[in-house]
Amino acid sequence: MLGPWDALEPPPRRVLVAGTTGVGKTTAAGRIGRALGVPHTEIDGLFHGPDWGPRASFEDDVERYTAGPAWVTEWQYSQVRALLTERADTLVWLDLPVPIAMWRLVRRTVRRRVGRTELWNGNVEPSMWTIFTNRDHIIRWGIRTRRKMRAMVPALEHAAPHLRIVRLQSQTEIDAFVERLRPPGTAE
């Protein structure tokens, strides 16, 4: 497993960003895409249809998107994880401490709810009260799955030997990694 300062030759072209809910996968994926000059598509936008239902075209959309020569997306959704893993050349694992990940998740959820931020296909965060009534409320989901990646990602070293795995354990490491991806003389 690589760290933030290890060389990546050749430069990544098909990148997955893994991590627990709320850790900052989408933000990091967007930054990585800009640094590399490759498109980033938020996989949640491909998955979620109106009223939070899954889109029927999800798997086909992921198939088409990842058929391209260069892309960045998040490593989510069990039904497409194998395809994503097969097609990627690099997986960036955001393995931040649980308290930081949970703080980011709560802060993001509250900010989106208070601002009624439209997410994907007209969806907005549900009432904060649903944390008590919905087992799958994003915060409860985050608590329940907070250590999931610590079993899944290391197993890829053997299951997907073609995949370079970069483990980042702090915001400082994320920032340093993204900066190293930039061509000399460019800024974010």
pTM for the model stands at: 0.91
- pLDDT tens track for 22-71: 899 999 999 999 999 999 999 999 999 998 899 999 999 999 999 999 99
C-alpha to C-alpha distance for 82 and 128, rounded to whole angstroms: 34
Phi (first) and psi of residue 178, to 5 degrees: -60, -45
Q: Indicate the residue type of 111.
A: R
Better pLDDT: 11 or 140:
11
Phi (first) and psi of residue 141, to 5 degrees: -60, -45
Mean pLDDT, all residues of the chain: 91
- CA 68, chain centre distance (Å): 19
Tokens standing for 18? 């893994």
Nearest one of 173, 182, 187 to 33, comparing CA atoms? 182
Instruction: Classify strands 90-94 and 71-74 as parallel, antiparallel or unpaired.
Output: unpaired
**Reported confidence tier of residue 143, pLDDT bands at 50, 70, 90:** confident
Residue 73: CB atoms within 10 Å: 27
| pLDDT value at residue 138 | 79
- Quick one: CA dihedral 47, 119, 32, 28, positive or negative? negative
> Which residues, in sequence order, are CB contacts of 184 under 8 Å at separation 6+?
none
Which strand (E) or helix (H) includes residue 152?
helix 149-159
* pLDDT > 70? residue 188: no
* pLDDT > 70? residue 185: no
**Reported confidence tier of residue 165, pLDDT bands at 50, 70, 90:** very high
- pLDDT tens track for 85-128: 999 999 999 999 988 988 988 888 888 888 888 888 888 888 88
